[in-house]
Chains A and B, each alone.
Chain A
């Protein structure tokens, strides 16, 4: 907890916190802000230009774009956060086991991580989503398989370093249990290293999820996921520029926010941006 509270107390919040907070609000409240039913079709008013009733226009079956973009926020953003949260938990846990457990288990986990890293990321998610027929679970499993190794590697590298340090040895000699040492001395530096990675990771996950949606292999229509919206609007690109721009801009702004926040976090923890 101190990792979060310290900068708050010291009033040294990076400026990127505010757009992040805005994104979080959007993901939580988006569907309630939608002025109209995101799936209500109106075939008399297809591909309409922006107006007072439809601020961002309508799509090819007359659905309100603004409502769909807002209602899509939890799918596009929330799912990405869920993905990275799961992957980083699994990765950190396996990394700690690899660093702390026996040589055999450590080698086993790290070789497994290497092997998973040898697959191009989107391919795994594609195969999973394709074989299992889209939906949330194949997406989560596929992306997680691709994501956990980076966290495991980072955790293992940091944890092995910390475990060799003097203060850990002192703690061990003082008789503290293995689990106390792990949570008190090893976990904080590990989390400090994993946080920037995870922040960037959420941005990557947003891109992967929307890419799968765009390919027609992600969440199933009529779910208003941003990538799937772009896929549906693509044939009408020439007529509906505003309609197409809406989900595109949302994806771009979300990923940009997370990229900048990740960079800020990374430069905070290493002292200098990459």
Chain B
């Protein structure tokens, strides 16, 4: 058990280091920006035309921007460690509150899209893997290559054109009802499927050609039973590893998907903040996305250890 704990501790340390580096990067970015930071904050608070040097000076004193950089850096990291991310320059609300609101939408979309992608990819990938070079294999391969060559926003635009503008079955954008969820989730699922089908197919092909599978067949199990009892768990190892990597695609994907569908998630928040230069929100969103990425890869590592305890022996050695 101690090996598992060590791996967990290592990965949590890694996640914290990632977050600390992201936070430092954000700090550097903000202070490397051309122009006076206090003036920019003042402009965001009272409007561009009503900014006076006095308001800028007041804000400089309030926010401690007149202190040495190293002191400001220490304060910024200290505030972060206490979970205080500051206030949005646009809405004036605490960043944590904004993040929590938007994160719940992203989580919904991400989970539904992810599950949907495996609902599509697992049957196709396994069928393809059972007969490499067969009809299903060739069709799914062509499908995967096509989808992999389509940027997420093209998939989304295609789906909007087909289902919302031509057939008029679904609303093109927004988030009020369940129907609004279908197209974004499907877009996410399709862009994930492109990469998970080949991984699943290859895992199945690999396992089916293993010695223990031949033995299971020799001992008299049907192909299906042999796969169920001996194949699934072994084939699952690379698939689970890959599923975590895919979270990176989910992140790349949902920034684009949420913007396209006007869906109020973290990605949309981040893009809006980037365009409006709402610095505290950008930092908060960047931090939370980076941290979520680290947490998911930790979960995937644990899942892999559970599936394949041989990794533990290696960690112990």
A56 in the interface (beta carbon within 8 A): no
When distances are taken between beta carbons in the complex, the residues of chain B under 8 Å from A237 are: 157, 160-161, 165
For chain A, which range describes its interface: under 10, 10 to 19, 20 to 34, or 35 or more residues? 35 or more
When distances are taken between beta carbons in the complex, the residues of chain A under 8 Å from B282 are: 127, 130-131
The answer to whether residues A214 and B255 also contact, given A123-B286, A126-B274 and a CB cut-off of 8 A, is no
When distances are taken between beta carbons in the complex, the residues of chain B under 8 Å from A80 are: none
A32 in the interface (beta carbon within 8 A): no
Let me know if B256 and A211 touch, CB within 8 A. Answer: yes
A207 in the interface (beta carbon within 8 A): yes
When distances are taken between beta carbons in the complex, the residues of chain B under 8 Å from A238 are: 165
Q: Closest approach, in angstroms, between the C-beta of A45 and any C-beta of chain B?
A: 23
Let me know if B251 and A122 touch, CB within 8 A. Answer: yes
* Chain A contact residues: helix, strand, loop or mixed: helix
* Chain B contact residues: helix, strand, loop or mixed: helix
When distances are taken between beta carbons in the complex, the residues of chain A under 8 Å from B150 are: 252, 255
A121 in the interface (beta carbon within 8 A): yes
Q: Which of A118, A120, A215, A251 meets B251, CB within 8 Å?
A: A120
B293 in the interface (beta carbon within 8 A): yes
B21 in the interface (beta carbon within 8 A): yes
Q: Chain A 107-145, CB within 8 Å of chain B: the 1/0 string?
A: 000000001001111110011011110000000000000
Who on chain B is nearest to A258 by CB?
Answer: B149
**A256 to B144 Cα, complex, angstroms:** 11
Let me know if A120 and B145 touch, CB within 8 A. Answer: no
When distances are taken between beta carbons in the complex, the residues of chain A under 8 Å from B299 are: none
The residues in A between 248 and 272 inclusive whose CB is less than 8 angstroms from any CB of B are 248, 251-252, 255-256, 259-260, 263
B148 in the interface (beta carbon within 8 A): yes
Q: Closest approach, in angstroms, between the C-beta of B85 and any C-beta of chain A?
A: 16
**A217 to B277 Cα, complex, angstroms:** 12
B46 in the interface (beta carbon within 8 A): no
B14 in the interface (beta carbon within 8 A): yes
When distances are taken between beta carbons in the complex, the residues of chain B under 8 Å from A210 are: 151, 153
Q: Which of A120, A203, A260 meets B290, CB within 8 Å?
A: A120
Q: Closest approach, in angstroms, between the C-beta of A30 and any C-beta of chain B?
A: 20
Q: Which of B145, B152, B157, B286 meets A211, CB within 8 Å?
A: B152
B17 in the interface (beta carbon within 8 A): yes
Let me know if A127 and B259 touch, CB within 8 A. Answer: no
When distances are taken between beta carbons in the complex, the residues of chain A under 8 Å from B247 are: 120
The answer to whether residues A217 and B151 also contact, given A115-B21, A230-B157 and a CB cut-off of 8 A, is no
Let me know if B157 and A234 touch, CB within 8 A. Answer: yes
Can you report 19 residue pairs joining A to B where beta carbons are below 8 Å apart? A115-B17, A118-B14, A118-B18, A120-B247, A120-B293, A122-B251, A123-B286, A126-B270, A127-B282, A207-B151, A211-B151, A214-B153, A217-B274, A230-B154, A244-B157, A252-B149, A252-B150, A256-B146, A256-B149
